[in-house]
Every structure is written in C-alpha cells, then in structure tokens.
Amino acid sequence: MKKDNQASWIRKYRTVLILLLVFFLFLFAYMKPWPYMLYGPGSAESVHLRVETGHELEEKGAFLFTTVSTYSNPNIFSILYARFNPRMEVKSEETATGGATNLTAYRNLLAYMRDSSEANALMAAYATMGKPLDVKPQGVIVVALLPDSKARQNGLQEGDIITKVDGRDIASAKEISEYLTSKKAGDEVQVSGTRGKEKFEATVPLIAMEPDKRTGIGFQNETVLKVTPPDPVKFDFADTGGPSAGLMMTLEIIAQLTGEDLTRGYRIAGTGTISADGTVGLIGGINYKLMAADREKADYFLVPYSSRNESNWTLAQETVERLKLKPQLVKVSTLQEAVDFLKQLEPKAE
C-alpha cells in the first residue's frame, strides 16, 4: 500500500519533479566554469585620451589602438555560443596562456608586456626625434620556464620580476646569468622580487641547460627597464594587457611632442609591438582587432608585416575579404614606415 502511495505521489508531481531536475541541471551548467578562453572583437579606442605628454595637440582624426576581447573560464552556454559564432573562437586555457603556471602568472606576464611596451614606445619615439632618455635596468622578468627547469615546482612562475638572488641585488639579465654560471647544477639559489603587486621568495634548484650545459634556472628572461623621459609623459593603459598597442602609443607620443597632427583628419587604427629600435613586431588576434576597427569606422589599419612571416598580413587580408570590412590595410615593418605613410596622406576633406 505504501509503495502504491509513493508511486501515486510521483505520478501526481512528475511534471514538477522533471522541471526541478531540469532547473538544477541548467543551474549547474550555468555555474560550472570550464578551462577554456573565448576570443572575439574587442575595442578600438583613441590613444589620444590615454597618453599625456604635457604638450597639447588638437587632432582632427584619431589614432585607435585595438584590442581582443577575452573571457576566461566560461560556462558551457558561452562555449557553445562562441563555437557557432563566426566572429569568435574557443581555445583551451593551456593553449591560450602558452602553458603558463596559472592564470595569475599569465596576467602578470601580460601586465609586464604592457609596461615594457610603454617603455619601448618612449625609447622608439625619442630615438626618432633624436632626444635623450634616462634608461635604467631594474630587474629580470620570468618570461617562460623551460621544460627541464625545476623552478615551477619550487615556487617560481611566469611574470615574476626577480630583483635579488641570494640576497644580492640583480638589475639585468646579464647580471643574473653571470652569477648563476658561477655555480653548478644541483645548487640552490634563493630568488626574490615582485609578483604583480605582491612580493615573493622562492628557493630554486639550478640545472645544466642545453645545448652548452651552462648552469641556470632554466627560463627565458628579459631585463626590466625603467625609462624616464624629459617630458611628463603618462600612460593610462592599466585596464589592458600585452604589448600590441606599442606602435599606436609611439605614433601618439611623436605627434604630441612634435605638435604635428599625424592623423591628417583620418581615423587610423592599428596594432603591433614596438622595439626600442623602431621595429614593429607581429601580434595575435589581428582578425578580431580589424572587426573592432571596422565597427568604429576606421579609415586605415596599420598591419605589422615581416617578409619572413606574413601571417598577420595574410590573416588581415582574409578577414577584410571574408567580412567585407572597410578599413584600408597598410603594411608597416618599422616605425619610420608608419610615420612616412602618415606624412604622405593628403588631409582628409571635411
């Protein structure tokens, strides 16, 4: 009799039970994060509003730096939406971060790349104008850890900035290399410095690195530079990451400091890393940056170009053709090429 009552109760409330089950399954799917990263068109914003030099300049047009929109740890619905959206892409977290230790390490590395891009923009701009700068090394950034390195499991991660080794001040990649090669594989060193806004310490075993068996931590590194210009230059890119706004930053600095409106009245978008010597480097996500530039009605788009690697140029052409985008593509390999292109433009008719 009791079983009959239970069966009767289930039949009576079957619809409600099914709806509750569906609701909780939906809630679980909505709340559960997955180790993926979604990519799509970001923004195309005026650089003029984010770079101050103490020199006023009225621009009739605008330099637009472009970004990629990224979304980490999405739920299954966001992943499915991105899979079927021709203007989006899904990558595994490991692929997206280049195998970084964790998302925090990846974001710290991106923040360094942004800061380094600002320093390089200053050096490239002032070199083009023939003006001096004060440049000082102030640490060593961990860019990537090699497969044989034992540093990751001993507390070091990408994006860490090392300023001391065994209590000794370290300012450059050369200094840390010279100190570590004086030791032997298996020795341990204590490294310390900054991890984002925090301080860190780690005790790391040294290895014999291939191919020359030189003793070291086993990481790719760069010297962190502090660049102090004679002008009161300020950047406002704290909400971005990565080095790809470098070219557009540099053009804006030159325009403001020379007092010449290099935009010629056009909306000029672009992307590309910048080196201190003015070399424009390749970047990722140029297709999404082009979509953002098109949405903001850019007239031209400066595309990083290398004769040894035409991937940016090829993808830019394919994207413009496939989506019928309006910006006119311009190849640039160096800062000087970009400046020369801008200076030969006839002012845009109002």
CA-based angle 174:175:176, to the nearest 5?
95
Tokens representing residue 272 in the block: 């590309």
**Angstrom distance (rounded) from CA 128 to CA 225:** 19
Which backbone phi and psi does 45 adopt, to 5 degrees?
-115, 155
Other Cβ atoms closer than 10 A to 330:
17
DSSP 334: B
131 flagged as catalytic: no
Q: What secondary structure does DSSP assign to 12-81, as a single string?
A: HTHHHHHHHHHHHHHHHHHH---SEEEEEEEEEEESTTTEE-S-----SSEEEEEEEEEEES--HHHHHH
Instruction: Give, for 214, the enclosing helix (H) or strand (E).
Output: strand 214-216
DSSP-derived 3-state class of residue 202: strand
Q: Which residue has the tokens 């031209």?
A: 300
Q: Which of 72, 244, 306, 343 is catalytic?
A: 244
**Angstrom distance (rounded) from CA 314 to CA 306:** 11
Q: Which of 78, 116, 192, 289 is catalytic?
A: 289
Alpha helices in 130-188 (DSSP H): 173-180
DSSP-derived 3-state class of residue 138: strand
Q: What secondary structure does DSSP assign to 263-317, as a single string?
A: TTT-EEEE--EE-TT-BEEP-S-HHHHHHHHHHTT-SEEEEE-BTTB-HHHHHHH
91 flagged as catalytic: no
DSSP-derived 3-state class of residue 185: coil
Tokens representing residue 105 in the block: 């390490």
- The residues carrying an active-site annotation are 244, 289
